[in-house]
Amino acid sequence: MVPTAAPNRQPSGSSFAKLLNEAVQQVNDVEKRSQGELQKFLSNESDLHSVMIALEKADLSFQVMMQVRNKIVQAYQELMKSQV
């Protein structure tokens, strides 16, 4: 039996960076959709309810992203303290 080669894996750092990049892109997409809803409302193509929901989704997405960023920074700072 011949062992097969392991699949070519990317370093975990690059996959983590890719994951973060995708998350930021999703937040950006939600923000763009909310701005689109606002523009529709201003041109009388949408109702206020839809605009408020879209804006709240964008706000919540941004707040979650900021909390994730804060936790990453906090974890990095803890690592730097422990290595001294």
Per domain, the residue ranges of the chain are 14-82
- Say what the pLDDT of residue 1 is: 47
User: Which pTM value belongs to this model?
Assistant: 0.73
pLDDT score of 45: 95
Q: What is the pLDDT of residues 34-83, one digit of tens each?
A: 999 999 999 999 999 999 999 999 999 999 999 999 999 999 999 999 87
Tell me if 34 sits within 8 A of 53, measured CB to CB: no
